[in-house]
Amino acid sequence: MLLSRWFLWPLGGLILSALTWFALPFIGFGLESVLIRAIIIGVIWLIIGIILLVGSLRRRGKEKKLAANIAGADPKDPTAEAIDAQSQQLQDRLKAAIADMNKMQAAKGGLTLYELPWYTIIGPPGAGKTTALLNSGLRFPLAERHGAQALQGVGGTRNCDWWFTERAVILDTAGRYTTQDSDSAVDQAGWRHFLNMLKQTRERQPLNGVLVVFGVRELLESSRDQRVAHGRAVRARLVELQEAFGLALPVYFVLTKLDMIAGFTEFYDDLDNDGREQVLGLTFPLAAADGGELPQTQFAPMFDRVIERQRTRVLDRLQDERDLARRTLIFGFPPQLASLGQPVDELLKEIFNDSRFAKRLSLRGVYFTSATQTGSPIDRLMGVISQKFGVAQPPPPPQVGKGRGFFLRRLFDDLIFNEAGLVGTDPKVERRMKLIRMASFGAVAFVLVAATALWVFSYFDNASLISRANAAIDRLEPQIRAAERVPLGEGDPRPVLPLLDELRRLPAGYEITKAGKSESMGLGLSVQDEVSLHTNALYRRALVNLLLPRLLLRTQRQLALRIGDPDYAFAALKTYLELGDAARFELKFVDRWLDDDYAASGLSEGDRTALSGHLKALSEEPWATVTLDRNLINEARDRVRTLSLAERAMNAFEQTQAVKDLPPWRVIDNVGPQLEQARNVMLRRSGIDLNEGIPGLYTKSGYYETFLPGMTGMLKQGIDDAWVLGPENEALAKTGRPREDLIKLYTNKYINLWQDLLNDVALKPIVDVRQAAQTLGILADQTSPLRSFYQGVSLQTRLTAPPLPKAAVATFGPEAEKLAKAAQDRFTQASILAGGGRDPALVVVQAFTQLHLFTGQENATGSPLLSFMLRLDMLAKRAASALGGSAAGGTGAGTAGLSLAGLADQLSIETVKLPRFVGEAIKALTEGVKLTGQRAAWEELQAAWKSDVMTFCQTVTTGRYPVVRGAGSEIPLGDFGKLFGPGQLIDNFFQSNLKNYVDTSKTPWKATGVFQISPQALAMLEKAGAIKEGFFSGGSTPGVAFSLAPLQVEMKGTGLEIDGQVMQLDPAAMTAVQMQWPRGAGGAKILGDKGPLQEFTGAWAFLKLFEAATLMPRSPDRYEASLPNGARLEVKWPSVKNPLSARAALLNFQCLPL
């Protein structure tokens, strides 16, 4: 009982509880608290309870598993048959017996069925195993309840009887399991299952021993070969047991039916009950598992001693016995018993001799028993005499006895059961348990050694901490005194920050303690708390004497410097007052204000971070109230009172970190997926990047999720901050209509910010057709950034419905979104208007009505924005055509560009119908596109002129007559006609491309302004027109008709010839002659009376002839020509536009760029 876990564990719990209660306060770690020690003791008992509970549950599990293995059917047994009604009864009976056995053992405080030693009996059939148990004198607790000492197994153990004694469980196996000579496969399968059942049921120690039982009659009457066969069968079973369990099981060799030897009953008839319960046999000394002398080799001499011991009783028994026949049997019994020696010895050697194929079997002893005295004994001595002398042996009379057991009870109780611990456990399990035990002992030893070492280290470590702290304090304290004497300057904290940082990082100082770190080993010896008192006090002194005055001075100077800025002055005044009074101090506000102020003054981020940490440390303990500049305070209050409560509340709210952290509404995030394209076409007139936008507070989500929920807090904060303006202002802060003022302030700023953004966003100027095509293509696309921008702004200015979370829309659909919108509208209006005034959401919506109508966001399919996008798409396609150099319906050069310009001009006119901010942006775009189209058309015209006209013109006219007077080469009439003729190069180009853009009604010609034609080019075109009219009377080839009439002829026989047409001059006949140029012959002559005076060659000879004469214009169509031959002629043209009037235009004509 004292070794029971139910005693040992509670005993250990009491010891640990006592140690916890009385010893832990001396160790430290804050374990002095009664509550903590009570909790630890509770945890100890909880762990003990869990261990006992788990152990109990495990034991119950093992018992259930044991009962299941013993009483359950084996589905894998090839010999198993279906369980019939009788088999089911046996199974129920066996289960009930097992349960009863456990209850009885538990009631007596004894071992459970699992904990009892287990033995198995093997031997050939008829060996008397069962009879020996029945008459052994053992106590079977189940006999009274279940009517028998043994219970028949079922399922896998149906060929095994279960004997439950008070001290052990004995498994009586079927004899055929040993010999396996009836049905080898079936017997072997049953035996294997029997072994597996034992292994699964009792993993560590399946059996405590094996009893090998042989009957004397079978031993004596069997031949040597039979004995050898029996021995080998038994050895095979023992080897299988040993291999299955991995154990060296002690084997008890028991010879039963000793009463079959003649004289047994007479020889031992005098024994009383104690005498019959003693052990008859021999027990071998314990031997090593391998090596050493085999026990069976000692059988013969030890058996002789047993026989000798029996012989000592012969005289006493003969003296007590009077019957001659009985005396004869008594006298012959020792020799009869000795006759067993040889067969037993042979059998032992056959069973237990060593083999290289198996481990040594452990023979514990050889014992002789008799369970009942029935049957005819064997008289081997008389059998030998009868054989020798040929005398028939009379049959021995049958025994009639009381069935008393001899030499059984103490064999079991005092010998076998007492050696239950002789067997070991499964080596694998034992090795595992040994490792666990060694690991546990090692862990305990390690903990003890480590704890001792740690305590030693802790002592020296804490001593080192004290030394380092003292050294640091001695070094830094003079520096603090010196810094306290230094003037504050401008309030710059940087001179003292390094010293404060060092003080903060002192051994066991502020930084260590606040981080929850330990700078020294504890284990009950830590002095960190004591050291921290000194180091933190020094740090605190520096914060109050060095940092606080500088912060006050800095705030005072900044307040005085910017006292004219009410917004800034209020925050600075509040900071100033809070630094002067620890009771008013708000760390977050002061820290934020100082951080912004020092950042503006150039303090590095690292210094500002360090300053913030020191300010936090300063705020953790109060400091003495500081005397402040009352005059400055009063002046600042007067200036700040110009701000309303709403303005102050809004300004303060905008400076909170939560509001600063709100994501802004950025233009670049709301231009659709074409971010790079958006940057290529959009800009802000103010020069701000598209990454900038509207603060998050002034967005739709900011309104519903931040402003409305925070409005009450803003007003409360404004009222709470009223003390900054003086005691009298606190009462005034609670009067008036601050809520309405705050809403109005927010609404106005909301509207202004979005209107400014709409007015600020514009489109980049167009510089060429390529850019125009790209810009218009981007703007007219389905993912147009401009369209996305306006729709995004429209969404943000529709404050009549809060945004529904995307997850809700995805889950419940658009109908849910509409319902939520309507409900939230009513809720928002009710909550805001509770204090009176207009709904701010409605005010914002009304301010952007034009935008909402334009975007048509509620009905996007018919919105003006969508219609306008279609017009932009047309313009984009026209720009693409202009970029390609052609346009539908155009024939001349530059038509595409002009068409683009015309469409852009038309669209520009329509922008007056758009909202102002949209119209201005689009008008600037269309004007740029228009100019670009015109410029593109002009460039195309110039290129066409150069390629189609100017190059040819220069080739034809350069250095040729009649353009160059006296030139050696002439312009061929065909080329002349191709260049200057009606409908030819110059005329066709002008009529097709420039006629509508040049004023030809008067000289000189002038451009109408669409194309910037140079004056020189206009003069050239005007000359070309004069040439066309003067040299082309009809058709595209040059040709004119004119008449020559003589005015004066000095001598007869003179004349002239033009292109083969001859005019004879005669003073008597002054007749006019009709001429035609050209006539094909070419050439011209001025004839004298003796022949030609001058000759001219070439197609232009007639013009050369006129140039040789002296011409006097009489009218635009009449000229007087004086020839070298003395004649004067009148040249008459059918039109005022004639070659002589166009001669000036043709002379020195130059083809110039437009």
Ranges of beta strands (E only) in 216-326 are 250-256, 281-283
Given a cut of 50, is residue 79 above it in pLDDT? no
Between β-strands 1061-1065 and 1073-1077, what pairing exists: parallel, antiparallel or unpaired? unpaired
Min mean pLDDT across 121-130, 396-405, 483-492 is at 396-405
Higher pLDDT, 863 or 109: 863
- Contact 592/659 with Cβ under 8 angstroms? no
Spell out the residues 6+ positions from residue 16 whose beta carbon is closer than 8 angstroms to its own: 41, 44
- Contact 803/779 with Cβ under 8 angstroms? no
Phi-psi region of 282 (alpha: psi -120 to 50; beta: other; left: phi over 0): beta
Query: Within 10 Å of residue 625's Cβ, how many Cβ atoms?
Result: 11
Given a cut of 90, is residue 279 above it in pLDDT? yes
CA–CA gap between residue 141 and residue 162 (Å, rounded)? 13
Spell out the residues 6+ positions from residue 387 whose beta carbon is closer than 8 angstroms to its own: none
The reported pLDDT for the residue numbered 887 is 41
Given a cut of 70, is residue 228 above it in pLDDT? yes
Supply the DSSP string of 933-985, one letter for each residue: HHHHHHHHHHHHIIIIIIHHHHHHHTTEETTSTT-SEE--HHHHHHHHSTTSH
CA–CA gap between residue 447 and residue 453 (Å, rounded)? 10
Given a cut of 50, is residue 885 above it in pLDDT? yes
CA–CA gap between residue 847 and residue 887 (Å, rounded)? 43
pLDDT digits (tens, 9 = 90+) for 1094-1137: 999 999 999 999 999 999 999 999 999 999 888 899 999 999 99
The reported pLDDT for the residue numbered 886 is 44
CA–CA gap between residue 914 and residue 928 (Å, rounded)? 18
Spell out the residues 6+ positions from residue 1055 whose beta carbon is closer than 8 angstroms to its own: 1062, 1063, 1064, 1065, 1087, 1125
Given a cut of 90, is residue 810 above it in pLDDT? no
Query: Within 10 Å of residue 584's Cβ, how many Cβ atoms?
Result: 14
Cis peptide before 495 (omega within 30 of 0): no
Given a cut of 90, is residue 1044 above it in pLDDT? yes
The reported pLDDT for the residue numbered 160 is 73
Mean pLDDT of 295-312: 90
The reported pLDDT for the residue numbered 891 is 45
The reported pLDDT for the residue numbered 681 is 80
Tokens representing residue 926 in the block: 């269309």
Mean pLDDT of 423-441: 73
Listed ranges 138-142, 382-386, 573-577, 1050-1054; the one with the highest mean pLDDT: 573-577
Listed ranges 107-121, 550-564, 930-944; the one with the highest mean pLDDT: 550-564
The reported pLDDT for the residue numbered 833 is 43
Mean pLDDT of 166-195: 76
| Residue among 695, 691, 693 nearest 706 (CA) | 695
Fill in the DSSP letter of residue 727: H
Spell out the residues 6+ positions from residue 1114 whose beta carbon is closer than 8 angstroms to its own: 1120, 1130
Given a cut of 70, is residue 1052 above it in pLDDT? yes
The reported pLDDT for the residue numbered 854 is 80
Between β-strands 1091-1096 and 1084-1088, what pairing exists: parallel, antiparallel or unpaired? antiparallel
Given a cut of 80, is residue 187 above it in pLDDT? no
CA–CA gap between residue 854 and residue 919 (Å, rounded)? 11
The reported pLDDT for the residue numbered 611 is 92
- Contact 367/406 with Cβ under 8 angstroms? no
Task: Identify the band that residue 1092 occupies on the pLDDT scale cut at 50, 70 and 90.
Answer: confident
CA–CA gap between residue 911 and residue 871 (Å, rounded)? 11
Query: Within 10 Å of residue 179's Cβ, how many Cβ atoms?
Result: 21
| Residue among 65, 417, 52 nearest 209 (CA) | 417
Residues 866, 867, 871, 872, Cα dihedral to 10°: -20
The residue written with tokens 């499964």 in the block is: 426
Fill in the DSSP letter of residue 696: G
CA–CA gap between residue 1108 and residue 1122 (Å, rounded)? 9
- Contact 1129/1046 with Cβ under 8 angstroms? yes
Tokens representing residue 622 in the block: 């109060």
The reported pLDDT for the residue numbered 978 is 92
Given a cut of 70, is residue 443 above it in pLDDT? yes
Cis peptide before 962 (omega within 30 of 0): yes
Q: Is 215 helix (H, G, I), strand (E, B) or coil?
A: strand
Min mean pLDDT across 258-267, 387-396, 591-600 is at 387-396
Fill in the DSSP letter of residue 355: B
Q: What is the SS3 assignment for 1108-1133?
A: HCEEEEEECCEEEEECCCCCEEEEEC
CA–CA gap between residue 982 and residue 963 (Å, rounded)? 19
Given a cut of 90, is residue 77 above it in pLDDT? no
pTM: 0.49
| Residue among 536, 534, 526, 539 nearest 470 (CA) | 534
- Contact 574/456 with Cβ under 8 angstroms? no
Higher pLDDT, 947 or 189: 947
Percent of the chain with pLDDT over 90: 21
Given a cut of 50, is residue 529 above it in pLDDT? yes
The reported pLDDT for the residue numbered 16 is 86
Task: Identify the band that residue 520 occupies on the pLDDT scale cut at 50, 70 and 90.
Answer: low
The reported pLDDT for the residue numbered 156 is 40
Given a cut of 50, is residue 85 above it in pLDDT? no
CA–CA gap between residue 494 and residue 501 (Å, rounded)? 11
CA–CA gap between residue 914 and residue 251 (Å, rounded)? 114
Estimate the share of the chain in helix, then strand, then coil, as percent rounded to the nearest 5: 60, 10, 30
Min mean pLDDT across 222-236, 537-551, 726-740 is at 726-740
pLDDT digits (tens, 9 = 90+) for 411-423: 998 999 888 888 7
Given a cut of 60, is residue 812 above it in pLDDT? no
Task: Identify the band that residue 323 occupies on the pLDDT scale cut at 50, 70 and 90.
Answer: confident
CA dist list (Å): 281 to 251, 262, 307, 362, 422: 14, 18, 10, 17, 19
Which amino acid appears at position 506 of this protein? L
The reported pLDDT for the residue numbered 616 is 93
CA dist list (Å): 200 to 193, 203, 503, 998: 10, 6, 70, 118
Min mean pLDDT across 87-101, 334-348, 612-626 is at 87-101
Q: Which residues of 271-297 are buried (b: 16+ CB within 10 A; e: fewer)?
A: eeeeebbebbbbebeebeeeeeebbbe
Mean pLDDT score of the chain, rounded to an integer? 80
Min mean pLDDT across 277-286, 703-712, 857-866 is at 857-866
